[in-house]
Chains A and B, each alone.
Chain A
Amino acid sequence: MKQNNSNNINEGFKLPDNYFNNFKKDLDKKIIEQSSSKNKLIHLHSKQAKYSILIAASLLLLFGLSYSFMPKTLVEHKVTFVNDSVSKTRKNLEFNLKKDTNNNDELMALFIDDENIDEYLDNYLIDGVTSNE
């Protein structure tokens, strides 16, 4: 059960006239076309291009919506809120510094000799209490 290529005509299969000569010309054209287009083309209908466009459009829309539709009062409120927070933090820091200073004085008192305690109390702690008032 073997058959040679020369018997293809007997199988009913035909070819256009001069097919192989024309095929050679067509192929040469295609090779030249593909060689000349060195840069890789990304077709707009390819999956890769579709996903890229979709992601870029989504990001653009997201940023656009965030800035365009944010109320001005909200922006102003944001600035006021930040300023308030800064001043409150500053006050807290000052308070803590003062508190630390007082604590340091009390701490120092623990290391003063009994003989010198009266003098220390007179000079530092009592002065501190009066100045706070």
Chain B
Amino acid sequence: MDTQNNLINALKDPSKKDEAFNMLLNKYQEKLYWHIRKLILIHEDTNDVLQNTFLKIYKGISSFKQKSSLHTWMYRIAYNESIDFLNLKKKHLRLSSQELNNNILESLEQDIYFEGDAIQIQLQQALLTLPEKQRSVFCMRYYDDLKFKEIAEILNTSEGALKASYHHAAKKVSQFLIKDPILLT
């Protein structure tokens, strides 16, 4: 806790900000990258969102009120940036949510930084059938291994609602995968 407070104080101090920001970057860039990547899926898009996320963190750290932990605050920024990016993409390409998911899946199969097999593509396909919030909860719990309390703070929702949401998401993903013969062979 003290280490975190020291880091926050250093980030708010203009003379120490750049050095402290480098420390923050080293500590969190990989975690936030994977958090964003699992929502966005495409590497190039993830790179853009990650840059915007850290730019916002750099600019906004002076007004960070410490109502949540630094970790949660950064995840919330990354999550919001990811959702904004997906909404903008949907608007820009004039696609429905379903069409956007198909578009992402096609792009994923062509992404040179994705070498998943049929099963891994199928898992992503199953996740893309979930409503946005359920998919986010599932990714944060399954991939990022975040606690429900932390996810609740990031998404500004109650823990109870999140647990129910995760349960529904996991059930839907299982059903989707069971239906398909690829997994059975």
Contacts and interface: CB of A to CB of B under 8 A. Distances in A.
Contacts of A14: 43, 113-115
- Greatest chain B CB density within 10 A among A4, A8, A11, A24 is at A11
A35 B143 CA distance: 35
Interface residues of B, number: 29
Contacts of A12: 114-117, 120-121
A38 interface: no
Contacts of B31: 5
B2 interface: no
Contacts of A3: 142-143, 145
B34 interface: yes
Interface residues of A, number: 20
A27 B25 contact: yes
A27 B145 CA distance: 27
Contacts of A27: 25, 51, 54-55
B30 A4 contact: no
A1 B33 CA distance: 21
Given A12-B116, A16-B113, A5 B143 contact: yes
A10 to B, nearest CB: 8
Interface string A1-32: 11111001001111110001001101100110
A13 B116 contact: yes
Contacts of B143: 3, 5, 8
Contact of B50 (A1, A11, A13, A23): A23
Interface of A: 1-5, 8, 11-16, 20, 23-24, 26-27, 30-31, 34
Interface of B: 22, 25, 29-31, 33-34, 37, 43, 47, 50-51, 54-55, 58, 113-117, 120-121, 123, 141-145, 170
26 contacts: A1-B142, A2-B142, A2-B145, A3-B142, A3-B143, A3-B145, A4-B145, A5-B31, A5-B144, A8-B34, A8-B143, A11-B116, A11-B123, A12-B114, A12-B117, A12-B120, A12-B121, A13-B43, A13-B113, A15-B33, A15-B43, A15-B113, A20-B30, A23-B33, A23-B47, A23-B50
